[in-house]
Amino acid sequence: MSATTAPPRVLIYSHDSFGLGHLRRCRAIAHAMVGGTGNLTVLILSGSPIIGSFDFRARVDFVRVPGVIKLRNGEYTPLNLLLDTEQTMAMRASIMKHTADIFDPDIFLVDKEPLGLRGEVRETIDMLKGRGARVILGLRDVMDDPALLKAEWRRKKAIPALRDLYDEIWVYGLPQVHDPLEEIDVPHSVRRKMIYTGYLERSAPRNLPEAGLPDGVEEPFVLVTTGGGGDGDLLVDRVLKAYESARAPEIPALVVFGPFMQPEAKAEFQDRVDRLDAVAAITFDTHLETLMERAAGVVAMGGYNTFCEILSFDKPALIVPRQVPRREQLIRASRAQELGLVSMLTEDMAEDPAAMATAIRQLTQQRRPSQVVVPGLLDGLENVNRLVAMHLAEGRTAARLPHKTRQDRLTVARRDDRRAG
């Protein structure tokens, strides 16, 4: 079968080996893509050690490359292999390029890192651009504090990559919430490539038997989630202190530690949980959406995926954002609180068990995100599918319209869809 007649293909690159954010975002996008285009195949490149724990829809698969983790000094080291970092990075880059060579995608979607981890996808980008594939960067709504992002992107030579390598930049958010490149000096040509899709709506799987809740938790309950859990110690500690206090919340809590929480910390927290009648804990659930759908409210750190789930399931939420090493969660939570979508306590405020207990207690009286009108808030996956359809319809060799018309074309596509409906 020739490349011109082969069913369309999308390759997605997700660099992270630690945490769940990038993987879960790419998985949600891949599932939406194959749901929107009947003959589309999506392949995810990932370094996540737990990607195999998740289920994937038909026509979505993954290739796992050797994992690396970032040390406190900013350097990277292999996650499992007894190889030096340079050998591991060379292996990752080689696997990615050879996979892309054989898979031959029409669209290459790169998540967050313009050149990949330490530049590992640069050769893959060059190869696919030479074949006429669309190369697209996907950014979450908030990257980091502008001053920190400026220094990071200068070091990584990100701005020239945005200018020279990418056809479009999809921002999975809305400008009225946040501009991820705020205060970043980028060329106007880069700004013209940016398309705000809206946030990525999530749903709970409907084909699963409803699992029972752990002992000690009954509905209504509050779900406490740390995401991957690698940096969730402070949140869990603050919540447990609130339930250990004299004015503990009456509503039960279910704490999800996360798969990357350190075993020593998890064991200590479990001992404390075991002494509380109104709190239960689990390590992880690959279908966390089902628990969130059942929860009366959510206590979380405010990572991108959790924020999307809070909006999607319309849950009253208390966000206690992490403030180091990135200020992403604090920026997102602060703006969301200004809009009335969530409530927030800073880490310092949450140190007071009484303040934390009061905030948890007030969750059930808090208004839901749907009571705030933000047009297009959860249109992200729908708009990603429209953009994919546009690119596939144009084909690899068709003349491309100027970047400045892309957002206008997306608006026209929305209007045509409404008329057709």
Closest CA to 302 of 317, 290, 315: 317
> Do 342 and 391 have their domain in common?
no
> Do 146 and 235 have their domain in common?
no
Closest CA to 206 of 285, 290, 284: 290
Tell me the residue range of the domain where 272 lies: 222-371
CATH number of the structural domain spanning residue 296: 3.40.50.2000
> Do 70 and 169 have their domain in common?
yes
Domain count, the chain: 2
Task: Pinpoint the alpha helices (H) of 194-297.
Answer: 233-244, 263-274, 288-294
Residue 208 resides in a domain: no
pLDDT on residue 208: 67
Residue 33 CB partners (closer than 8 Å, separation 6+)? 10, 40, 42, 384, 385, 388
> Do 282 and 390 have their domain in common?
no
Classified as helix, coil or strand, 254 is strand
> Do 38 and 55 have their domain in common?
yes
* Element at 42 (helix H, strand E): strand 41-46
| pLDDT tens-place values along the chain, 421 residues long | 444 578 999 999 998 766 678 889 999 999 999 999 999 999 999 998 889 889 999 999 999 999 887 665 556 778 888 788 899 999 999 999 999 999 999 999 999 999 999 999 999 999 999 999 999 999 999 999 999 999 999 999 999 999 999 999 999 999 999 999 999 999 999 999 999 999 999 998 877 666 678 776 889 999 999 988 888 999 999 999 999 999 999 999 999 999 889 999 999 999 999 999 999 999 988 888 999 999 999 999 999 999 999 999 999 999 999 888 889 999 999 999 999 999 999 999 999 999 999 999 999 899 999 999 999 999 999 999 999 999 999 998 544 444 444 555 566 556 656 655 5
> Do 229 and 304 have their domain in common?
yes
Residue 51: CA atoms inside 13 Å, Cβ hemisphere, count? 27
Which of 371, 394, 409 is a domain's end point? 371
Classified as helix, coil or strand, 50 is coil
Closest CA to 200 of 121, 330, 289, 300: 289
Length of the chain: 421
> Do 190 and 305 have their domain in common?
no
Residue 332 resides in a domain: yes
| Rounded Cα–Cα distance for residues 182 and 360 (Å) | 33
Residue 1 resides in a domain: no
| DSSP states of 296-360 | SEEEE---HHHHHHHHHTT--EEE----SS--HHHHHHHHHHHHTS-EE--HHHHTSHHHHHHHH
Residue 212 resides in a domain: no
pLDDT on residue 402: 42
pLDDT on residue 135: 98
| Cβ-contact 170, 133 below 8 angstroms | no
> Do 384 and 355 have their domain in common?
no
> Do 387 and 307 have their domain in common?
no
Which of 371, 386, 408 is a domain's end point? 371
> Do 111 and 235 have their domain in common?
no
Residue 328 resides in a domain: yes
Tokens found for residue 367: 């208004």
Which of 371, 386, 407 is a domain's end point? 371
> Do 47 and 167 have their domain in common?
yes
> Do 67 and 83 have their domain in common?
yes
| Rounded Cα–Cα distance for residues 161 and 229 (Å) | 32
| Rounded Cα–Cα distance for residues 7 and 38 (Å) | 10
Residue 409 resides in a domain: yes
| Angle at alpha carbon of residue 195, lines to 189 and 198, rounded to 5° | 160
| Beta strand segments in 65-193, E | 68-70, 76-78, 107-111, 134-140, 168-172
Residue 216 resides in a domain: no
